[in-house]
């Protein structure tokens, strides 16, 4: 029965990357896939990746064990080392984020990611969402199949209990890693697994199956809401992914919250709590007109500009940076991942610098400037406003200076002092690494 169930869950795919921790769950999953390949003569192609978090003193031994198992079962295996961020979210959350980021990078075109969560994991996830006060989206817990970047993530074992996996491992004499941290009940998930669920299942043996049905029903409700709100949401989201605010104003708080959550989902963002959504609406969306509001969500933030909300990576202004660019003007690396400037056969046309003019790149300017195509001088702030440059781009747009003269804001404007002539013309190409 497990192999037939596994075949159905693979959805006719043939190329798989297995997230292989070396624990019981992923060991059983990989072994079942190997059985399909070798004894059922299925045309499937397997790779496995072990994520080395470096949290345990045994981490190197675990990596070696996984490589040995892959070699024994003729599966291409590799180890990916990750470093955990320090953002106050807790070890479990940071490890999970680092793990899925590494798995996404490890995927090859045409591959589907397989992970080994099972029925007991689903029950724990539901109860953790209940503890957090989650709505139907959180209580839907883990779907068996979902989009993952350009491919899919499938959880083929989601219908099997831990006891069933233990029985398979015993029958086939499998060996696996026992992570000592799994016995630490200071972690919420371990507390449920070790202390709470055993007591519940003594009284209600089929509790995990009942929870899984409830999660499935919550998922169906969310899917229905997605369908009902999709048309309205599409009218609110602009081509650049921002969300219009004015059409949300007359809506009920419940409908507005549902639309905001689906906008977060469209940005592949973590789902905000009700309290954070209320802060977003009060402190960002409807704050005073002359404000430049923002609300941080981990490595990202929501900002308002010209009547819309924007989901953006958190960046820092570079107002005090000055970068010299000296002859012979080789490609210049800009700070903070902004890319490279180079002289090219195409690009922004400006006059060439005189030998007596030192060339620098800066990120702020004061005074009045006359830009090409405008009669009157303006402050840089006014120019940014007139040209519709959002605040988060202003101090990250390279300003090219000759001496103390502003020549150009790359990609935006050229000043009269920098205007190219038939006798003197440079072309500057800004190769951006991170689109802001």
d(CA 157, CA 167): 14
Q: Which residues lie below 8 Å from residue 239, measured CB to CB, with a gap of 6+?
A: none
Q: Count of CB atoms within 10 A of residue 326's CB?
A: 10
DSSP state at residue 137: H
- Residues 30, 75 contacting (CB under 8 angstroms): yes
Q: Is 236 annotated as a binding residue?
A: no
- Residues 156, 10 contacting (CB under 8 angstroms): yes
For 362, list phi and psi in degrees, rounded to 5: -130, 180
Q: Cis (ω within 30 of 0) for the bond into 328?
A: yes
- Residues 22, 65 contacting (CB under 8 angstroms): yes
Q: Is 260 annotated as a binding residue?
A: no
The per-residue pLDDT for 89 is 57
d(CA 322, CA 403): 12
| Structural domains present in the chain | 2-213 (3.40.50.620), 237-313 (1.20.59.20), 322-431 (no CATH)
Instruction: Calculate the dihedral angle through the C-alpha atoms of 55, 60, 63, 69, rounding to the nearest 10 degrees.
Output: -140
Q: Is 25 annotated as a binding residue?
A: yes
- Residues 335, 323 contacting (CB under 8 angstroms): yes
The per-residue pLDDT for 5 is 81
* pLDDT tens track, the chain, 436 positions: 577 788 888 888 999 999 999 999 999 999 999 999 998 778 899 999 999 988 888 899 999 999 999 999 999 999 999 887 655 556 777 788 889 889 999 999 999 999 999 999 999 999 998 998 888 888 888 999 988 988 999 999 999 999 999 999 999 999 999 888 888 888 899 999 999 999 999 999 999 999 999 999 999 999 999 999 999 999 999 999 999 999 999 999 999 999 999 999 899 887 888 889 999 999 999 998 878 899 998 889 999 999 999 999 988 878 888 999 998 999 999 998 899 999 988 888 999 999 899 999 999 898 899 999 888 888 999 999 889 899 998 888 999 999 999 999 998 999 999 999 888 899 999 988 754 4
Q: Which helix (H) or strand (E) holds 421?
A: none
Spell out a b/e string for 53-82, using b for 16 or more CB atoms within 10 Å of the CB, else e.
beeeeebeebbebbbebbeebebebebbeb
Q: Tokens representing 406? A: 């502003």
d(CA 148, CA 126): 21
Question: Which residue do the tokens 């963002």 mark?
Answer: 269
- Give the number of C-alpha atoms closer than 13 A to the C-alpha of residue 257, restricted to the C-beta side: 15
d(CA 146, CA 148): 6
d(CA 7, CA 28): 15
Q: Count of CB atoms within 10 A of residue 353's CB?
A: 21
d(CA 404, CA 424): 19
> C-alpha angle 391/395/401, rounded to 5°?
135
Q: Is 411 annotated as a binding residue?
A: no
Q: Count of CB atoms within 10 A of residue 365's CB?
A: 17
The per-residue pLDDT for 435 is 46
């Amino acid at each position: 029965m497990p192999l037939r169930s596994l075949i159905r869950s693979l959805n006719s795919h043939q190329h798989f990357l297995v997230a292989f921790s070396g624990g019981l769950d992923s060991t059983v999953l990989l072994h079942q896939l190997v059985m399909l390949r070798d004894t059922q003569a299925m045309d499937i192609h397997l790779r496995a990746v072990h994520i080395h978090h470096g949290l345990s003193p045994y981490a190197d031994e675990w990596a070696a064990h996984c490589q040995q198992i892959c070699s024994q079962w003729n599966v291409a295996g590799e180890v990916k080392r990750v470093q955990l961020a320090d953002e106050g979210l807790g070890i479990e959350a940071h490890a999970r984020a680092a793990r899925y980021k590494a798995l996404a990078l490890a995927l090859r075109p045409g591959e589907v990611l397989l992970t080994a969560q099972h029925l007991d994991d689903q029950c724990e996830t539901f109860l953790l969402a209940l503890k957090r006060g989650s709505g139907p989206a959180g209580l839907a817990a883990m779907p068996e199949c979902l989009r993952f970047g350009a491919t899919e993530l499938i959880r083929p074992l989601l219908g099997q209990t831990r006891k069933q996996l233990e029985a398979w491992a015993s029958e086939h004499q499998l060996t696996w890693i026992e992570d000592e941290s799994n016995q630490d009940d200071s972690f919420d998930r371990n507390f449920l697994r070790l202390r709470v669920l055993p007591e519940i299942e003594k009284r209600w043996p089929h509790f995990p199956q009942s929870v899984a049905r409830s999660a499935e029903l919550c998922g169906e409700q969310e899917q229905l809401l997605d369908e009902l709100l999709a048309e309205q949401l599409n009218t609110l989201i602009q081509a650049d992914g921002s969300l219009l605010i004015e059409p949300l104003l007359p809506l009920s708080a419940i409908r507005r919250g549902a639309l905001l959550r689906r906008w977060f989902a469209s940005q592949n963002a973590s789902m905000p709590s009700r309290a954070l959504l209320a802060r977003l609406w009060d402190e960002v969306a409807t704050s005073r007109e002359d404000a430049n509001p923002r609300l941080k969500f981990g490595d990202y933030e929501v900002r308002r500009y010209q009547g819309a909300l924007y989901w953006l990576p958190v960046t820092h202004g570079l107002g005090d940076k000055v970068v010299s660019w000296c002859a012979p003007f080789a490609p210049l690396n800009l700070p903070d991942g902004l890319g490279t400037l180079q002289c090219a056969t195409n690009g922004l046309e400006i006059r060439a610098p005189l030998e007596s003019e030192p060339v620098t790149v800066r990120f702020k300017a004061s005074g009045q400037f006359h830009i090409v195509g405008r009669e009157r001088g303006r402050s840089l702030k006014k120019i940014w406003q007139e040209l519709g440059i959002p605040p988060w781009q202003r101090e990250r747009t390279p300003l090219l200076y000759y001496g103390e003269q502003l020549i150009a804001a790359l990609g935006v404007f050229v000043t009269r002092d920098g205007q190219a002539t038939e006798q003197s013309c440079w072309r500057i190409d800004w190769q951006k690494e991170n689109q802001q």
